[in-house]
Amino acid sequence: MPASPRESSVKPERMMMQMRTRLTELTRPLRRPAIVLVVALMSPYACAAGDHDADLDMHQADDALPIMQAKHTDAPVNIDGVLDETVWQDATAYPLALAADRARSGATVQEAGTVKLAWDDENFYVAIEFTESDIVAEGDEDQLPHFQLGDLCELFLRPQDQTWYWELYVTPRGKKTSYWFPGRGRFGLPSNFKYDCGLRVAAQTDGTVNDWQDRDTGWTAEMAMPIKDLTLGGQLFEPGADWRILVARYNYSRYRVERGPELTMSPAMSATNFHLLEDYARLRLTR
């Protein structure tokens, strides 16, 4: 890679300890099949018990992958979490879905969500609208492991011809986190969590955050990732460029019957593992 991403001064030790503690807590009381599933959620290495079948399904031709389109806009996008710009009125709304492993078990999405994409000459934009009966966001700082702290939208981006990829967060409180992984074989190293970039986020809530005694309606958010940060390695970000994308959600709620958050995504994946890079959609940039 010609240029290394910028690094922040945020120390990753606390996050690494939290991730390991959380994994231990989740796996200790569970039977073996559930342990395999939890490892798949937290690690890029696992694909649950059906590794061989999953490999056959994942390595499909590019033309078989789903496509998510982002239209170019000449009008400014105000990152305030209010989806009132014309570009969002015209953009395709991609629904969130459960991964195939959950769908096969008979599970259905409990709370809906949609994702919209856009770009201009400076930034790549994401807008989300999530139905939410219990808005949870216990993290009050940026660059935290917010997937452990409440509701979350995660954006994953990867240039197809490279191993590295980004994992970017926005929470209902408008907090952000940015991670950068040189490749799956370096996942989990402290340097992954010291990444710094120009990501901007904002969110709006319809309800009361962190009050489990009432019922909320939902939340919206916008993300703006500078194209200059995405192209430090020399990749192009323009029509015809080959990029992959996943937008995922953690949805915690007192009203869930099942333990833990509901995990949904667009596109739908073969397994509930947000680091399953082969399942990401093709990002189509248009003008």
- Residue with more model confidence, 226 or 16: 226
Cβ within 8 Å of residue 239, ≥6 positions away: 285, 286, 287
What mean pLDDT do residues 31-46 have? 34
Query: What is the pLDDT at residue 62?
Result: 72
Domains of the chain: 13-286 (2.60.40.1190)
Of 32-41, 66-75, 103-112, 198-207, which gets the smallest average pLDDT? 32-41
- Residue with more model confidence, 59 or 267: 267
Distance CA 119, CA 67 (A): 16
Query: What is the pLDDT at residue 13?
Result: 54
HSE-up of residue 266 (Cα within 13 Å, Cβ side): 22
Of 15-19, 75-79, 81-85, 260-264, which gets the smallest average pLDDT? 15-19
